[in-house]
Chains A and B, each alone.
Chain A
């Protein structure tokens, strides 16, 4: 339920705005000049807002596409991310958005057509494959019934020869994908974690079996799927839990039909980490030892866990392209592709 919808004057008459407002007839609708007046203001309480986020409907001016850091690439020649949505209905305690944004409200940029125009133009300029990541600042599918994002973008990407859209998600809102023919221009990349990690840290998210079930349906339907094991969390008994977890995941999925696997430990920009501790001072996840290098805090012990994970992946899905998204601190790092 959305109690408050803020609408930028510039998009008040946009058909997508009207449809969303109609969907929530009981919500209070508040007009605003700019989404930043609500989203970026000072003296907000992220934690309070998280319990009842408001929705802000806005226009995204350019630039709408941003380059992706090299360590986040998945093998394509060109890599960009874009954010049609800021924030997420899930409440994962390790999520960096808590440290990045001062507001937990959702901002939905309704000018999808402008994003698609930019993606078409950018792809024309690219010599080779271009990956477009949609889930950096949000969960790509979690608000699908509200946003219709995948429904709109996935069919657009089908028409761009050298473009691939990554939908990064923990959601099982895959109905719109199962209702259309699969194609190679969209990868559904599911973030997965062992059940005890989900129960403790990923509040409000679908369980592991539900996520695996959604992936299985997508795979059977022909969609390329990605597996995102990021962050791997260090905890007592974690190595055993993760080994069993990888067995569970790969027992249910066809290892030959996996587009990509990514791995990373818990790492946060230093300033984000500080804000998250202030937000949740009672959270043990942030109380352990962190290595602080180059402005990034990485949970101590992550490298050992990553090695365990890489070994498990080699065993369960030897053909799957694996990408480490986190530099390990020794030269014995097993090669990832």
Chain B
């Protein structure tokens, strides 16, 4: 299983520091989404709002191989009643204020910044919601991202761009990029934590070709091929020192016999608990 880290930002000015830091190259627009990539990271600029963010997640998901562990980070600016401009928070709860849906990202790593509730608005606002970071994408981003990934693998990072003392109208592209750039190390640290997390639960890649010789010699139906793969998995675990595929299958007349014979060998194998 390969790992793919996906960033989604609403604005090009939010994306620019990430593009520079991770050395992402611009790709051909896909379904109206501008996106950037290197070998392991993709970044989509979604546009502002929930629908746009969810759509960008969909576009990036559609470009991924089925056996990909997708990691998701929504990075952007947010308002807060009284937090310092430039401070960063990771969402531990996301409230979609329009639908009253609540989401809980699972932070199962050492977060390099404080966590916060994020309130997701449908329109720009300066009436901040209690002590929440206020944005316009997080809820839909998270809902969409966790369709393809677990709640531990999708996170929202928000940098405070305005508060009750410093209003939205003061913002411009340069200021927004500077705000993101000011927290780039924290963002990169979260990305590293996610990659580390994914590596810890990565399943060892199955030796895809190791049933090929058998499948070339006998005709396996789709169901039989799945049975064969399962037998191979169990063989590797129970008989790690025995060669696969076994050579004594040559007398088998068809795939059914192969599966039967392999099944007998695997079922009679006894667990060894000193094997590790």
Interface residue ranges, A against B (CB under 8 Å)? 3-4, 6, 28, 30-33, 37-38, 41, 43-45, 47-49, 51-52, 54, 196-197, 200-201, 233-236, 281-285, 287-289, 300-301
Contact = CB atoms under 8 A, between A and B. Distances in A.
Given A32-B104, A37-B104, A47-B201, A289 B267 contact: yes
5 contacts: A28-B92, A43-B146, A45-B106, A236-B272, A287-B238
Interface in B84-109: 92-93, 102, 104, 106-109
Contact of A287 (B147, B152, B237, B276): B237
Contacts of A37: 102, 104
A284 B108 contact: no
Contact of B271 (A33, A43, A236, A281): A236
A285 B234 CA distance: 10
B271 A30 contact: no
A289 B268 contact: yes
Contacts of A49: 106, 108, 152
Contacts of B153: 45
Contacts of B167: none
B272 A235 contact: yes
B243 interface: no
A233 B271 contact: yes
Interface string B175-218: 00000000000000000000001001101100000000000000
A227 B266 CA distance: 33
Contacts of B108: 3, 48-49, 51-52, 54
Contacts of B197: 48
Nearest to A31: B93
B102 A44 contact: no
B150 A284 contact: no
Given A233-B273, A236-B272, A281-B233, 7 more contacts: A30-B104, A43-B147, A49-B108, A52-B109, A196-B273, A200-B273, A235-B271
A44 B150 contact: yes
B126 interface: no
Given A30-B104, A45-B150, A52-B109, A235 B270 contact: yes
B2 interface: no
Interface residues of B, number: 37
B270 A234 contact: yes
B203 A30 contact: no
Contact of A44 (B152, B203, B237, B270): B152
Nearest to A49: B108
A44 B104 contact: no
Contacts of B203: 281-282
A152 B124 CA distance: 51
A283 B237 contact: yes
A197 B268 contact: no
Contact of A288 (B104, B106, B200, B271): B271
Interface string B231-243: 0011001100000
A293 B113 CA distance: 51
Given A48-B108, A52-B109, A284 B238 contact: yes
Contacts of A287: 233-234, 237-238, 266, 271
Contacts of A4: 92, 107
B104 to A, nearest CB: 5
Nearest to A285: B271
B224 interface: no
B171 interface: no
B207 to A, nearest CB: 13
Nearest to B146: A43
A233 B153 CA distance: 35
Contacts of A54: 106, 108
Given A51-B108, A51-B200, A43 B92 contact: no
A183 to B, nearest CB: 39
A45 B102 CA distance: 19
B274 interface: yes
Contacts of A48: 106, 108, 150, 152, 197, 200-201
Given A30-B92, A200-B273, A43 B150 contact: yes
Contact of B151 (A33, A43, A233, A301): A43
B274 A196 contact: yes
Interface in B66-121: 92-93, 102, 104, 106-109, 115, 117
B222 interface: no
B165 interface: no
Interface in B237-276: 237-238, 266-276
Contact of A197 (B152, B238, B273): B273
Contact of B115 (A28, A281, A282): A28
B149 interface: yes
Interface in B147-183: 147, 149-153
Contacts of A197: 273
A251 B84 CA distance: 66
A178 to B, nearest CB: 33
B276 A200 contact: yes
Nearest to B102: A37
- Max chain A C-beta neighbours (<10 A), residue from B92, B146, B203, B273: B273
Contacts of B234: 287-288
Contacts of A200: 273, 276
Contacts of B93: 30-32
Contacts of B270: 234-236, 288, 301
